[in-house]
Structure 1
Amino acid sequence: MNGDIGRRALLQATGAGAALLAAPAFVRAAGKPVLKAGDQKGGLRALLECADELKNLPYEIQWAEFPAAAPLAEALNAEAVELGPIGDAPLIFALAQGVRIKAFAVNRSDAYGTAVLVKTDSSLRTGADLKGKSVATNRGSIGHYVTLRTLAAAGLQPGDVQFRFLAPSDAKLALVGGSVDAWATWEPYTAVAETVDKLRVLSNGRGLWSGLSYIAATDTALRDKREVLVDFRARTERAQRWANAHIGDYADTLARIVGIPAPAARLAYERRQTRYLPIDAALIAEQQKTADVYLDAGLLAKRLVVSETFVSV
């Protein structure tokens, strides 16, 4: 990845976020450190805001929103943002491409919402039916990963489908418009697709995907802002516990910040039930299995040793 990729990542952020990203890498606001946080579809910010964990911060947070993990990873690589949430599969894909980040917090969610979707009237009913069909998803995403596992469970190879690598909004349009046969995505896109677009889940991540996601930070932030990252992680973990006990309030805040219908937000987070976990040997072994699936699918040039991609703060 190079400077052009970093600039492209800035353009994929929301307008407000892009303006913030144009600032120097390390700045201070009103005498406080500034943490530049990337987000995916507003979920992390909504979580912290709803749980009142953004009050009385000893630092400032500048938020930038991205539609998926790939552009977020590009922004992290360019140090345009300093941390962000990223699923296990896209983290592996980003690290294999040389992105200089490490995971310092980990959570697990119910994997159902990472799914392969089709139109309601589609003749496709099982993973085996995807043979010879086209699937839209982000390259290296958890949607891509679940598609690969869906194919493997049906005795198919990656080459048995035609992948079209598109951002979530473009992928949905491609499916609805009939230019692809299926769309592989994740929450809250899946919940919106089910409740608003009336799309149907062909295959879901239960039994196929670990449900693991991370908060990753740049090596520079881990070196220079460790105390800030420790505090941010603690606030996020407290906020998640609160959200699990107050799904309605959380869903309403998420809907407002992200701009999705409240019923979709409620569906997405009622079934996720995200829990933060320690980074231990069992978790690292799960992550290694995910990396090895990508290696076997030809998406990695060489085996990634994932134990080197975690850090304690």
Structure 2
Amino acid sequence: MSQHHLKHTTSTWFRTQGHGMPLAMVALCAMLGTNAVWAVDPNVKQLRIGFQKSSINFAIAKQQKLFEKEFPNAKITWNEFPAGPQILEALAVGSLDIGVTGDTPPVYAQAANKPLYYIAYESAKPLASAILIPKISKLTNLSQLKGKRIALQRGSSAHYLVVQAVRKAGLKWTDITPIWLAPAEARAAFQKGAVDAWAIWDPYYASAQIEDQAKVLTTGKGLSPNYTFYLASPNFLKQNPQAVKSIIQQINLADKWVQSHKTETTSLIAQGTGLKTNVSKVFIDRRPSPSYAAPLTAKVIADQQQLANRFSELQIIPRPINIQQAVWQSK
């Protein structure tokens, strides 16, 4: 699909779907304007993007060179990371301009006084993360996690999922033994039986389900909304304050394409990540549709503040934080 056609169909969607549109999308339309075809932004000179295997909209934008077309004078670089904490570390030290993460990494970063701003979010996807157990496990409920070893990435969305699961089970955080591992290492430990459970998100979740016959002890439903967030460095925003609109616009053009090209997206994600096609399909099918990027709403900020408060209460982060202070306000 051409860039012009992508823009035209997305603009048409905005016009025809407006009456039933969520508040976030109404805000997005107001933010982006109503022109059928948006002009490219010639002012951005550099755009360094951090993404993960779970970043479907970024993957499609990369494949179709949407940012390259939107920012014709910029040097665009794409950098893949295993998880959100690593992306925000790179953002904080000035190696990236924008990145995409789950809900917990920006809370960790803000609590550590690392510079960042939330610029957009995607719809909650609680079914896209889970606490998995081996196919031979006898565990059947969360309370049985007491005394168990759970693999997870520290500071990731899986971290919050485990915090919430432990709380729901009536256990204390000290009742479990967290084993801090990045996804690849956690998968190896899970396969070897070195841990009793693994808290993880898609597509690693889908891969373990299909290839390892992992069982689901719980998903994020009722525990964690599991939002996706787009974040930017303060320096990039200071130098390119109008670029946020263009960035969100391109993310949403990619998502619009995904919605109408599920089969092609499945193949592209499989090719780009090395996932098997059936794993890629489960991953994409579990993703909310649409998954547009939009400015943070009051509810999203409140949900994120609850996460931060929970981590502060448990002294997982060193101090209380105010999420609103890290939300970018476009001029």
Query: TM-score, normalised to structure 2's length?
Result: 0.81
Match of 1:230 among 222, 233, 245: 245
Residue 213 of structure 1 and its aligned partner are, at CA, apart by: 1.6
Residue 148 of structure 1 and its aligned partner are, at CA, apart by: 1.0
Partner of 1:20: none
Kept in 2: contact 1:134–1:162 (CA 8 A): yes
1:56 and 2:69 matched? yes
Residue 52 of structure 1 and its aligned partner are, at CA, apart by: 6.1
Partner of 2:122: 107
1:276 and 2:288 matched? no
Root mean square deviation of aligned Cα: 1.9
Of 79-88 and 240-249, deviating more is 240-249
Residue 228 of structure 1 and its aligned partner are, at CA, apart by: 3.2
Q: Aligned in 2, Cα 1:301/1:36: closer, same or farther, shift over 3 Å?
A: same
Code of the residue aligned with 1:309 in structure 2: it is: A
Equivalent-residue separation in structure 2 for 1:32 and 1:302 (angstroms): 35
Match of 1:210 among 220, 225, 228: 225
Code of the residue aligned with 2:309 in structure 1: it is: D
Q: Secondary structure at the match of 2:70?
A: coil
Q: Secondary structure at the match of 1:298?
A: coil
1:299 and 2:316 matched? yes
1:227-267 superposed Cα distances (whole Å, 9 cap, x missing partner): 33321211002211321332221121111111111111111
Equivalent-residue separation in structure 1 for 2:292 and 2:324 (angstroms): 21
Equivalent-residue separation in structure 2 for 1:32 and 1:277 (angstroms): 21
Match of 1:39 among 47, 51, 54: 51
Of 257-266 and 165-174, deviating more is 257-266
Q: Aligned in 2, Cα 1:152/1:32: closer, same or farther, shift over 3 Å?
A: closer
Please list every run of 5 or more consecutive structure 1 residues that lacks an aligned counterpart in the other structure.
1-30
Residue 101 of structure 1 and its aligned partner are, at CA, apart by: 0.5
Q: What is the correspondence of 1:89-104 to structure 2 with a 5 Å cutoff? A: 89-104=104-119
Partner of 2:187: 172
1:251 and 2:263 matched? no
Equivalent-residue separation in structure 2 for 1:268 and 1:137 (angstroms): 19
Q: Secondary structure at the match of 1:190?
A: helix
Percent identical across equivalent pairs? 27
1:129 and 2:144 matched? yes
Q: Secondary structure at the match of 1:64?
A: strand
Partner of 2:101: 86
Code of the residue aligned with 1:132 in structure 2: it is: G
1:267 and 2:279 matched? no
Q: Secondary structure at the match of 1:214?
A: strand
Please list every run of 5 or more consecutive structure 2 residues that lacks an aligned counterpart in the other structure.
1-42
Kept in 1: contact 2:98–2:231 (CA 8 A): yes
Kept in 1: contact 2:153–2:182 (CA 8 A): yes
Code of the residue aligned with 1:220 in structure 2: it is: N
Residue 158 of structure 1 and its aligned partner are, at CA, apart by: 0.9
Q: Computing the radius of gyration over CA atoms, which structure comes out larger, 1 or 2?
A: 2
1:290 and 2:307 matched? yes
Equivalent-residue separation in structure 2 for 1:269 and 1:62 (angstroms): 25
1:122-160 superposed Cα distances (whole Å, 9 cap, x missing partner): 111211111100001111111111111111111111111
Equivalent-residue separation in structure 1 for 2:294 and 2:241 (angstroms): 19
1:195 and 2:207 matched? no
Kept in 2: contact 1:109–1:272 (CA 8 A): no
1:142 and 2:165 matched? no
Q: Secondary structure at the match of 1:75?
A: helix
Residue 32 of structure 1 and its aligned partner are, at CA, apart by: 6.8
Q: Secondary structure at the match of 1:176?
A: helix
Kept in 2: contact 1:46–1:250 (CA 8 A): no
